Structure 1
């Protein structure tokens, strides 16, 4: 279903399944942000990991032009998309439920960055309770070759070869100039997603899943982000699947991947419940 031109899908759990897993508590709402070029049928497979746990899921993938063109040229088009996605929580009356993110590749991470910023700064969204996030095959920074590989894969064989190479060449020049050569200047107007999240990270628990065989996102950049966040005192976990290709962790290791996501969500929910109990006890003793 869609909200004007916002193409998203929401799945609500069966009441009995939700009650079985969350025992009277509000079920988590898992927001899945797809990689550039992913289709809803792809995200639906990941959505089922959480639907089977009695969660509500909201899945969305940003348009290619927004990820590869608008962001590369410094237009913050994704910020308005992030705002509208968060407003959907109020439209579906789940704004009081725990929120959990599952983010894929730079395409999802770029959108996630703006959602985090809004959750930090926007008066309406500051009241939302985010319990954690899983980041799959992201984030990467200033990897022109990796970005070109992602764009080439996304364009696919249906696009004319000459047109494909023309688009790749234009994209490479734009990214190289604006995101590398001129970045010391342009970052004052528009920081890239990597630097922005390094400086003002999400405060909730995070788990980064990646592979050192990924040819789009360099694994060292994921590890650098994890280390930086841990040094800031944040609860951050990571796991290297070693051999899968970009955003192929679940496809190659379905049982391990699913288990890690479910376990992490359960830990985040348990941690949030414990923190709520501590707050209530402290208020009683005042």
Structure 2
């Protein structure tokens, strides 16, 4: 499948910026997965956090229908999207670079779930070197009211009030039946993103940025998820911005948000350097 079939944006830094920040090592490739309804002009503001650090960035946001309809009804359209997304690394010959994710809300996390599964199971992608992930305002689980708020926000003000009401009502009833009432049965066919990643978490470090003021994703869901994967040996850190609303932490606290992302990326890259040094030392010892 060609990666050209999905609408993404890729930005390469100039060589001088990369050399200044990474000093001869391969610059990271940061993959940003937008929230449902996210416009690229908004996502590009986040990618600048990494572009200014000499990173390659890939921006992608899954279509609304895929996030709100396909996933809700158990259709795994995002699985093929995840495949195409990872193929971009090979198309641009950056598959040997360190890979870092920045994931937004449940819309981005639903896609991230399938990326993680591919990295676990696919022979080709298992060789990719993922160093870490920032997760902004996610993941949430079983919050129908929050999902309705998210859908209402993405529909926008241009849609007629009657159509808005009908769409929200249908969505609420469907999700309540499939993802709450019948979920003890349907989860054997299709787990939700929250449970899937919690049950099979990736090994790389995660930084969760969230807020107890978020009305879409409950902060308790984020904290419970962090505790669950931490018990499975995953390095997890989190920061509660306390007052910012859903996916608005960067808007309300730009300097603090930027600093946390860059410090975390630098720490992940430093950990990678340590692992590579150990591997080289072991290789030298074996060759003697």
Report the TM-score range of the alignment, normalised by the length of the smaller protein: over 0.9
Aligned length: 285
Instruction: Please list every run of 5 or more consecutive structure 1 residues that lacks an aligned counterpart in the other structure.
Output: none
Moved over 3 A (4+): 2-5
In the TM superposition, what is the alpha-carbon distance from 1:24 to its structure 2 partner? 0.8
1:16-55 equivalences under 5 Å are: 16-55=16-55
Q: Which residue of 2 aligns with 1:151?
A: 151
Provide the rounded CA distance (Å) in 2 between the counterparts of 1:283 and 1:29: 27
In the TM superposition, what is the alpha-carbon distance from 1:232 to its structure 2 partner? 1.3
Provide the rounded CA distance (Å) in 1 between the counterparts of 2:161 and 2:232: 46
1:134-145 equivalences under 5 Å are: 134-145=134-145
Provide the rounded CA distance (Å) in 2 between the counterparts of 1:148 and 1:163: 14
CA contact (8 A) 2:11 2:58 kept: yes
Aligned: 1:109 with 2:109:
yes
Provide the rounded CA distance (Å) in 1 between the counterparts of 2:171 and 2:32: 27
Provide the rounded CA distance (Å) in 1 between the counterparts of 2:159 and 2:82: 29
Provide the rounded CA distance (Å) in 1 between the counterparts of 2:65 and 2:119: 25
Cα RMSD, aligned residues only:
0.9
3-state SS of 1:209 partner: strand
Deviations 1:170-193 (A, max 9, x none): 000110000011101100010000
Q: Which residue of 2 aligns with 1:123?
A: 123
Q: TM-score, normalised by structure 2?
A: 0.98
Provide the rounded CA distance (Å) in 2 between the counterparts of 1:70 and 1:99: 27
Q: Which residue of 2 aligns with 1:285?
A: 285
Instruction: Please list every run of 5 or more consecutive structure 2 residues that lacks an aligned counterpart in the other structure.
Output: none
CA contact (8 A) 2:3 2:85 kept: no
In the TM superposition, what is the alpha-carbon distance from 1:3 to its structure 2 partner? 4.6
In the TM superposition, what is the alpha-carbon distance from 1:5 to its structure 2 partner? 3.9
3-state SS of 2:7 partner: strand
